[in-house]
Structures are given as structure tokens and as C-alpha cells.
A = this chain, B = another copy of it.
Amino acid sequence: MSNYQRFVLTDLTQSDLWVPELTLDSRAWPGRFPAPWKITKRTLRGGRRDGIDLIEVDNGILTFQILPTRGMGIWRGQFREMPLGWQAPVHGPVHPQYVNLLDRNGLGWLDGFDEWLVRCGLSSMGPPGIDPKTKEYLTLHGRIANQPAHYVEIRIHLDPPFELQVIGHVQETMLFAHDWLLKSTFTTTPGSSRLVVHDEIENRSMRTAELSLLYHINWGPPILGEGSRLLAPVQTMMPKDARAAEGLATWDLFDAPTPGFAEQVYFCELIADAGGQTLAMLQDPSQSRAAVLRWSKVELPYFILWKNTASMTEGYVTGLEPALQLPNFRASERDAGRLPMLQPGQSYRTTLAIELVDQMENVDDIRQEIASMGMPEP
């Protein structure tokens, strides 16, 4: 059985527990861990971030900042000296109190969008509009990113591989409608260049429910730059619209910041290995650094590339987005048969790894790994 210490930061289910500040440091367990690490929790104050809980995990070389108040998204990170995430026009993170999803003709979600990793879903995602079946007015990318966690826990595993875990539970519930429970676990280990996001999403309602889910994982400089490239074992790729079709020839290449650049979106299916695993890599212009995502195509069958290489002030960013379906309007995805139905009590599980690479030979290795997936087996 796992030997770990547990630190509950928030528990609003049975108790009324909320910890304002916490610091955990490997130095408190002398000689126990192979590398130093540190985890801190605090509440941000001022401006649009006022009241946001932030948990920063620093495993020694990789740092990431989890936002329980924003649906267990990740604000930003850092790998050695390299910042992870992007710089949105807004000075985020943005507390849900400053996000009105109904605003801007249903595009209000954009007002809170500045994370490195943000989930779209769970009852709907994609563009706003009235669902002809349910008559609901759906807003862009759904609600989960603006729901606060009601339960947050840190687990420090005391035996190899010494996992450092942050667990958060988030509800997306509407009386008389749906009731989703997201249990999210972020895992890394001391000195690792890898972060694993594991989600369990339970339909707690008493009716079958359609699940929408997309991981919007966003990269700006330095990984994104002129000459950056997406590599993935692409099986099929389809530009989302005429605007995306314009860039078809260079869909996997990135330009320098381009003022006024209008976004381009590409819908992909990737090749998976025998175990169902697939991956995508964003390599930097020098081909010596890269971000790699790994996940199961069984769990998340689609992959979307969002290119938004506008100017730095507008937001120079690309999104690598493993997803359960395409980010079209929900009714279209329903018609296309891409909305999984979860029975009452049923859970959907996903596991997603984010790896950072900063050695050219390692980037080469992954490039070869991707290339080999397109090959017929010997």
C-alpha cells in the first residue's frame, strides 16, 4: 500500500476546511528524497486575480501553478529557466467573479482565458448558441474552467518514485439538469521533466448525460517562435474552415508574431500505438527544446491544433488540444455521434502527460518516435 502523507487544503463536503497558506519543503524530510522540491499554497490578491487560490509545485526543475479556483487549471509553469504557458492580453489569472460567460454574445469565457492548461467542457464546449435539442443557451467552451474546487489535497509519497500529487475535486452541477464531478490529480516526481494530469469525471446525476471535454494546452515563447513546428503521427487532418485552409501547406509550422493574425484551427486524428497511446510535440525554432504531450487515443480520440500567432500584445500562442470530440457546436457533435453518453454513476477517465525536453538529442528521439508510428510494423 502506498505510503504517503496527506495535506488537505480545502474540504467543503463534510467539514468547512480551507487552508489560507501552506509550504511543504523536501527539507522537512531530511535525506528522504532524491532531489529537493517545494509546494506552496497561497491566495492571490488584487485586480482580476483577487481571491484565487494558487498551488505552486516545484519539483526541483519543473514548476507548475495550479488554480483550484479556476477548475483545477494550470496558470503557468517553468522548466529550468524556460517559462511555460503564454502571455494573454489580460493580466491574469482571472477570478470567475470577473467572468460573465453570457457576455459578448456568449463568448465571455475568453475574458478569463489566460492559462497554460484549461479544460473545456463538461456539459458542452465549442461555440455559443441555442442547442436545438435541449433549448439551452450554451456559452463558449462551457463552465468547468470557472468553477472552484470544493476539495483540494496534496499527497507526498515517501517511497520511490516519490510522487508529488495535487488532487482537486470540482463540481459542475445544475439542479434539475446535470451534475458532473471532476476529480483531477496532478502528479510529478522530484527532479522530473514530466507532469501527469489524470482526470476522473463522474456523472453524478440520475440521467445519462453527454460529456464534452477538451484540454486546451497553450504555448507561447520560447517554445513557440518563428520556425517552431508541430510533430505528431497524423492520420487525418482537416482545416476547420476557409481561414484554416489558407494555411494548409504550412499548417504544422509557426510564423513570427504577426499583428492581426486571425486564428487557424486544424482538426486531427492521430495514429496510436498498439496500446492506444499517441503523442504530439511542439519543437522550438532551434529544435533543441520541445514540449511533448502523451495520451491515450482511446480516451481522447481527437487532437486539435489552434494557431494564434498574433502579436505579443494580442497573444502569441498555439494550443495543442487532445479532446473527446471536436470543438464544434454541441448539436453538430451530437449529430456526428461524437458525444459519449455517460450513465448515472459512470465515470470517464483520461490521463495526459506533459513532458519538457531541452536536449537536442532528446528532441531527435521523439521526432523519430513519432516518425516510426507512421510506419507499418516489421
Instruction: Tell whether, in the assembled complex, residue B47 and residue A149 are in contact, meaning their CB atoms are under 8 Å apart.
Output: yes
Instruction: Tell whether, in the assembled complex, residue A91 and residue B314 are in contact, meaning their CB atoms are under 8 Å apart.
Output: no
Instruction: Tell whether, in the assembled complex, residue B137 and residue A105 are in contact, meaning their CB atoms are under 8 Å apart.
Output: yes
Across the interface, which residues of B come within 8 angstroms of A46, CB to CB?
A: 10, 12, 17-18, 53, 148, 150
Cross-chain contact of A175 among B48, B136, B137, B315 (Cβ < 8 A): B315
Across the interface, which residues of B come within 8 angstroms of A260, CB to CB?
A: 206-207
Q: How many copies does the complex hold?
A: 3
Verify if A44 is at the interface (C-beta below 8 Å from B): yes
Main secondary structure on chain A at its contact with chain B?
A: loop
How many residues of A are counted as interface, with CB atoms below 8 angstroms from the partner's CB atoms? 59
Across the interface, which residues of B come within 8 angstroms of A150, CB to CB?
A: 46-48, 91
Across the interface, which residues of B come within 8 angstroms of A44, CB to CB?
A: 16, 18
Residue among A16, A17, A113, A310 facing the most chain B CB atoms (10 A cut-off) = A16
Min C-beta distance of A241 to chain B, whole Å:
15
Across the interface, which residues of B come within 8 angstroms of A177, CB to CB?
A: 104
Given known A-B contacts A179-B313, A204-B313, A20 and B45 have beta carbons under 8 A apart: yes
Instruction: Tell whether, in the assembled complex, residue A105 and residue B135 are in contact, meaning their CB atoms are under 8 Å apart.
Output: yes
Q: Please tell me which stretch of A92-100, A319-327, A328-336 contacts chain B, meaning at least 4 of its Cβ atoms lie within 8 angstroms of it.
A: A92-100
Instruction: Tell whether, in the assembled complex, residue A100 and residue B101 are in contact, meaning their CB atoms are under 8 Å apart.
Output: yes
Residue of B nearest to A49 (CB): B12
Verify if A242 is at the interface (C-beta below 8 Å from B): no
CA distance A77 to B171 in the complex (A): 24
Q: Which residues of A contact B (CB under 8 A)?
A: 10, 12-13, 16-18, 20, 44-51, 53, 69, 88-91, 96-98, 100-105, 110-111, 113, 135-137, 148-150, 171, 173-177, 179, 204-207, 259-260, 263, 310-311, 313-315, 344
Per CB-CB distance, the 9 closest pairs between chain A and chain B, nearest first, are A18-B46, A206-B259, A18-B45, A47-B150, A97-B97, A91-B150, A110-B175, A10-B46, A12-B47
